């Protein structure tokens, strides 16, 4: 089944120009997303996952800047749009939910007010019909007694309810793309399960595309079709989740999985942490970003960037170990 | 197995200002009984507001218990002068940024408990102890003169652990020690805690909301909900054979690693949220979200009773689950 391409990112580069120097947060990242598809971006703090999606929303603030590459959304080049044109897309065709639902809702407006705003702005609804729609949206995300809740302020909502309110706000204009940045990190597991269930349903029913940023591989495995593993501002491995979870192959991915306690392992497991510390993005290594912490480093890893090797259908890994000559090399 | 610490019917209530009369008593821990065995790791899991941190803090008398008894090594320490016991019982805090004094050098942070308990013979001995402790947690002697802000989260957590170890304790409450850290760093700290336990024969009470982490490190696990322990069992049995409806829901809510398993299995999605602790349900604390709740659950509080050897459940219908 071929789906329509919704998002196409080519060689995206983002830097932050700080007084201390240029921080190369995203260094040449390419990936794409089809309609109705969910993609998970996994990586540790400083890997560039949040910066990449902020670029899609054009939410980067000074001193951050897109310095190269292209982002095509529904055929339109996002990097070339004016702020005014961007405002037409933001909250309308692309919506975003953030990690911390307390700081991303405005405390001095009612929840209803904040859900109605994009409806009035983008769909030109009047206040009365926007309110009806707001109540309906709150009901969709499972908030009990939405008629009363729509008049309340964010502080009257619990953490899980705030995140639901955020989702209902994001869904108001029926976006084609939902970007969720660690949407459940601040929530308890039973509430997380509720939120993930809502997201799964939206994807299936409305064939909405989802970009999910997380550090939790379990969540990706649960709701995503594809996964991207980022390290030091680059994609080190990506592919369909079945293939990637069955045969993870980049040394960083293996390290990440090895250092993760797993809930479905019954034997005594041994955690193998990744030694060393993350990449200094002001002075990123010339070769593979993971080379300084990798246990299999070869000479070439330190000097030359590895290309992407296709190691399964649509499953790519940027590691010199996949080179057919690599086994023969000394060192 | 030798019992190191007995917690008997422990209660910790807080008075909340500005709430209506009759609704201003927060029962953070409400009648918890536990035995902690020497050399084991007992895990406590539960959602935010379930009272797990309050238990940890009350055991170390960072909060004074409202009622109940703490018996450590056969002695009642509920009201006893606590300073001598602080040498035996230590605490590792969740937030490696907030739990270190920013104006003290790392050497002094680790040296403070040594000074308070007068453990060092002289200046040289104090210095040697600090260096040994730093070395033991994977830092080096040169770090002693630096300040906390110069360290990463993982390194700060190591400093916090070195401080806890400075008094050569027997028992440590680890309160979410890795939840603020990146995955690869988490594994470093977990491995270190395990190695230290082996080396020094430590006993841990390990508090976390991340079940995978608790499962990895603990031998036994207690599940908390709204100030009470609803189920307690050996790790293996708890995961194989959960009995309490809340434990079942909790375990099924965690996404597992394998995508095929994730898609195939049936989730128990709980309705609603953890109730307001200022106004807890009458009867069983879980009754408002439980799919099996009957009349008795809404009126009578179930006791934590032995279900099988070493397996405790607080549910009126445990036998029928």
Q: What is the pLDDT of residues A266-322, one digit of tens each?
A: 677 888 888 887 888 888 899 999 999 999 999 999 999 999 999 999 999 999 999
Q: What residues of B are in contact with residue A194 (Cβ under 8 Å)?
A: 269-270
Would an 8 Å CB–CB cutoff place A240 in contact with chain B?
Answer: no
- Predicted TM-score (pTM) of this structure: 0.86
In a domain, B242, yes or no: yes
Residues whose CB falls within 8 Å of the CB of residue B289, separated by 6 or more in sequence, listed in order: B246, B270, B271, B272, B273
Residue whose token pair is 């309906």: A136
CA distance A297 to A290: 9
The tally of domains found in chain A comes to: 1
Q: Which of A160, A189, A217 sits opposite B253 (nearest CB)?
A: A189
Where helices occur in chain A by DSSP H, the ranges are 49-56, 83-89, 111-123, 127-140, 146-149, 159-171, 189-206, 217-223, 241-246, 251-258, 299-303
The per-residue pLDDT for B217 is: 95
A69 lies in a domain? yes
CB contact under 8 A, B260 and A272: no
Q: Are residues B152 and B247 in the same domain?
A: no
Q: How does DSSP classify residue A267?
A: S
Residues from chain A that touch B190, judged by Cβ atoms under 8 A, are: 261, 271
Q: What is the pLDDT of residue B10?
A: 97
Q: What is the CATH number of the domain that holds B31?
A: 3.40.50.300
Planar angle of CA B204, B208, B209, nearest 5 degrees: 160
Interface ipTM: 0.80
DSSP string, B77-105: -SSS--HHHHTTEEEE-S-TTTSS-TTS-
A278, part of any domain: yes
Q: Using the CB atoms, write b or e for A138-165: b if 16+ within 10 Å.
A: bbbbbbeebeebbeebbeebbbbbbbbb
Give the model confidence (pLDDT) of B151-181 as tens digits.
888 899 999 999 999 999 999 999 999 988 8
Domain containing residue B135 = 103-168
- Judge whether residue A329 has pLDDT over 60: no
Please tell me whether residues B23 and B160 are part of one structural domain: no
Range of the domain at A227: 5-93+175-328
Cross-strand partners of A17: A22
Give dist(CA A123, CA A130) in Å, integer. 9
Q: Is residue B96 part of a domain?
A: no
Are both B314 and B251 inside the same structural domain?
yes
Domain count, chain B: 2
Q: Token pair 């964010």 is at which residue?
A: A154
**Domain containing A273 — which CATH number?**
3.40.50.300
Name the A residues in 176-235 with CB < 8 Å from any B CB: 188-194, 196-197, 215-219, 221-222
> Which candidate, B219, B262, B247, places its Cα nearest to that of B315?
B247
Q: What is the distance between the alpha carbons of residues B192 and A244, in angstroms, rounded to a whole number?
A: 30
Q: Is A272 on the interface with B (CB under 8 A)?
A: yes
DSSP E strand boundaries for chain B: 3-15, 25-37, 41-45, 67-72, 75-76, 89-92, 171-175, 203-207, 220-225, 228-234, 305-308, 311-313
**Under an 8 A CB cutoff, do A261 and B209 touch?**
no
Chain B residues whose C-beta is within 8 A of a chain A C-beta are: 47-48, 152, 182-188, 190-191, 209, 211-213, 215-217, 236, 239-240, 249-250, 252-263, 267, 269-270, 272-274
* Distance, CA of A289 to CA of A43 (rounded, Å): 13
Of the candidates B213, A250, A196, the one whose C-alpha atom is nearest the C-alpha of residue B221 is B213
pLDDT confidence bin for A331, thresholds 50/70/90: very low
HSE of B210, CA atoms in CB hemisphere, 13 A: 23
CB contact under 8 A, A261 and B212: yes
Q: Is B206 helix (H, G, I), strand (E, B) or coil?
A: strand
B242 and B163 in a common domain: no
Q: What is the pLDDT of residues A177-233, one digit of tens each?
A: 999 998 887 778 888 888 888 888 888 888 899 999 998 888 999 999 999 999 999
Q: What percent of chain A has pLDDT over 90?
A: 63
């Amino acid at each position: 089944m071929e789906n329509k391409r919704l998002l196409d990112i080519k060689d995206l580069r983002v830097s932050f120009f700080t007084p201390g120097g240029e921080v190369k947060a995203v260094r040449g990242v390419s990936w794409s997303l089809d309609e109705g598809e969910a993609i998970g971006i996994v990586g540790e703090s400083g890997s560039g996952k949040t910066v990449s999606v902020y670029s899609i929303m054009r939410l980067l603030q000074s001193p951050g800047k897109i310095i190269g590459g292209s982002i095509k959304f529904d055929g339109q080049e996002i990097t070339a749009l004016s702020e005014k044109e961007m405002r037409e897309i933001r909250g309308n065709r692309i919506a975003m939910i953030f990690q911390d639902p307390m700081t991303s809702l405005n405390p001095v407006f009612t929840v209803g007010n904040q859900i109605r705003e994009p409806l009035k702005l983008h769909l030109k609804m009047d206040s009365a019909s926007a309110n009806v729609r707001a109540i309906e949206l709150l009901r969709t995300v499972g908030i009990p007694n939405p008629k009363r809740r729509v008049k309340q302020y964010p502080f009257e909502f619990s953490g899980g309810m705030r995140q639901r309110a955020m989702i209902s706000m994001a869904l108001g204009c029926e976006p084609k793309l939902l970007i969720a940045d660690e949407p459940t990190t601040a929530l308890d597991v039973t509430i997380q399960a509720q939120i993930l269930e809502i997201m799964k349903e939206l994807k299936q029913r409305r064939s909405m595309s989802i970009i999910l940023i997380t550090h939790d591989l379990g969540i990706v495995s649960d709701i995503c079709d594809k996964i991207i593993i980022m390290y030091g501002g680059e994609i080190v491995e990506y592919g369909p989740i079945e293939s990637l979870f069955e045969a993870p192959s980049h040394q960083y991915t293996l390290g990440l999985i090895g250092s993760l306690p797993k809930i479905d392992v019954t034997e005594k497991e041994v955690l193998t942490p990744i030694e060393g510390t993350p990449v200094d993005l002001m002075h990123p290594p010339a070769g593979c970003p993971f080379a300084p912490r990798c246990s299999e480093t070869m000479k070439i890893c330190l000097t030359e960037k590895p290309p992407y090797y296709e190691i399964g259908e649509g499953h790519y890994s940027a590691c010199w170990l996949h080179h057919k000559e690599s086994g023969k090399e000394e060192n | 197995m030798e019992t190191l610490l007995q917690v008997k019917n422990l209660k910790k209530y807080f008075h909340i200002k500005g709430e209506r009369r009759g609704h201003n008593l927060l029962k953070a821990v409400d009648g918890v009984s536990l035995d902690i065995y020497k050399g084991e790791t007992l895990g406590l899991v539960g959602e935010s507001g379930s009272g797990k941190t309050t238990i940890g803090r009350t055991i170390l008398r960072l909060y004074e218990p409202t009622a109940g008894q703490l018996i450590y090594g056969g002695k009642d320490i509920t009201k006893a002068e606590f300073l001598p016991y602080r040498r035996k019982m230590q605490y590792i805090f969740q937030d490696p940024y907030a739990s270190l004094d920013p104006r003290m050098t790392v050497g002094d942070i680790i040296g403070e408990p040594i000074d308070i308990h007068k453990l060092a013979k002289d200046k040289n001995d104090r210095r040697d102890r600090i260096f040994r402790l730093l070395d033991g947690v994977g830092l080096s002697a040169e770090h002693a003169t630096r300040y906390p802000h110069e360290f990463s989260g993982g390194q700060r957590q190591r400093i916090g652990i070195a401080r806890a170890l400075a008094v050569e304790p027997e028992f440590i409450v680890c309160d979410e020690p890795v939840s603020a850290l990146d995955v690869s760093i988490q594994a470093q700290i977990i491995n270190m805690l395990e190695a230290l336990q082996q080396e020094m024969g430590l006993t841990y009470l390990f508090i976390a909301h991340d079940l995978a982490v608790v499962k990895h490190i603990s031998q036994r696990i207690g599940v908390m909900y709204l100030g009470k322990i609803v189920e307690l069992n050996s790790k293996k049995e708890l995961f194989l054979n959960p009995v309490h409806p809340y434990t079942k829901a909790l375990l099924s809510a965690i996404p597992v690693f394998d995508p095929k398993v994730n898609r195939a299995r049936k989730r128990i999605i709980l309705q609603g949220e953890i109730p307001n602790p200022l106004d807890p349900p009458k009867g069983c604390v879980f009754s408002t979200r439980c799919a099996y709740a009957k009349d008795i659950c809404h009126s009578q509080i179930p006791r934590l009773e032995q279900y099988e050897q070493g397996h405790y459940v607080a549910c009126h219908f445990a036998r029928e689950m």
